[in-house]
Amino acid sequence: MKTIEATLQPRDVVKLAFQFQETEFVPYDDLMLYEHDQALSAWFGDEHWREQHSVSYLGALTGFDGSLTLAGMTPQPDGTQKDILGCSWRMGNISHLEDWPLHEPEMGDYRLPGLQPYFEQYVKPRWPREIAQSANRFRICWTVFGLFERAWTLRGFENFLVDLALNEKFAEQLLDHITEYLLQSVDLMAQAPLDSICFTDDHACQRGMIMGADRWRRLFKPRWKRIYERVHHYGLFATMHMCGDNTEVIPDLIEVGLDCMESCQPECMDLYDLKRRYGRDIRFWGGLGAQRMMPFGTPDEIRREIRRMKRELGRGGGFLLACAKAPDAITPLANILAYLEEAGQPRPVDEL
């Protein structure tokens, strides 16, 4: 393993960053390089390349993915795959939702599946090995599909947007049901020795909040407050992946207890400005462009941007370096190597 501060384990470095303290090395994310694992294994001549050529600051335990796929998918006559939540997906490099269980704005007898049986059969048995493998790392666990994402996958994207505008009573009923589902996921994941519970909710596009900031504040904000409070009840950090431009609601997210924003797309948000405005109140995880910088930049451009990120975003702690999205397959291996090599370097001396 590459070296960090002699007296600190990788987990310590991330925890210090989450406590807004600077360290010589800025923690970074190498888990999101999964699309390039095979190429990196070939390059380094070792499938366990992380042990010699990276510092694995993060350790991920199995959680609850969007389709609870460990329970299996049921093939449909049209070639789609139906998950146990009743959603049918066209599978591929990117999965597309093609059918959903709630065709009308009413719950009827539909209920999300209880998570306890899935947890006992598929999730918990994986933890002992994952816990052993993630010793001394900052452990995270994910529940994929937050309030907005889960709602539109159950109702259809356009349908749920109409519900938000015209069927608000039903929308609230659905969101309340999803909130209970997410709270149950927190209770189960918190049984593991974690540091952070992570959610996903892409409620923004690159032009701003999809449903509008005011509607988000009215319908989503109080429910996220309940969820973050449950995470904090267990002494854990609440992290959320959010694509798009979330600038307008960052003060609200801070108010209801979100500890860390993950993704932080530089194509639509000025992360350097956000650091100056909110960098003592919320942590930022991500920020290196996956739409232009990683696939189309040069290795030298990537190195320069990483050095700037460490200087400015790493100042005062509260920053975890990562690509804003997992680099896809078109990203040159030279750029992936530049990320790994520069990420592993200490912060510039004049900034310590």
Model confidence at 3, pLDDT cuts 50, 70, 90, reads very low
CB 199 within 8 A of CB 151: no
| pTM for this entry | 0.95
Six-digit token pair at 94? 């990117």
pLDDT of 6 reads: 60
Rounded to an integer, what distance in angstroms lies between the CA atom of residue 280 and that of residue 17?
Answer: 11
Residue 6 burial (10 A CB sphere; 0-12, 13-18, 19+): exposed
Of residues 287, 310, 284, the one with CA closest to residue 24: 310
Fold of 10-71+103-351: TIM Barrel (3.20.20)
More confident residue, 270 or 3: 270
Model confidence at 352, pLDDT cuts 50, 70, 90, reads very low
| Dihedral class, residue 304 (left if φ above 0, else alpha if ψ from -120 to 50, else beta) | alpha
* Averaged pLDDT, 331-350: 93
pLDDT in tens, 181-192: 999 999 999 999
pLDDT in tens, 199-246: 999 999 999 999 999 999 999 999 999 999 999 999 999 999 999 999
Q: How far out from the chain centre does Cα 36 lie?
A: 19
Q: Where are the domains of the chain?
A: 10-71+103-351
Model confidence at 5, pLDDT cuts 50, 70, 90, reads low
Residue type, 196: S
Model confidence at 151, pLDDT cuts 50, 70, 90, reads very high
| Burial letters 105-127, b for 16+ CB under 10 A, else e | beeeeeebeebeebbeebbeeeb
* Averaged pLDDT, 71-91: 97
CA distances from 273 to 77, 161, 247, 266 (A): 51, 31, 10, 11
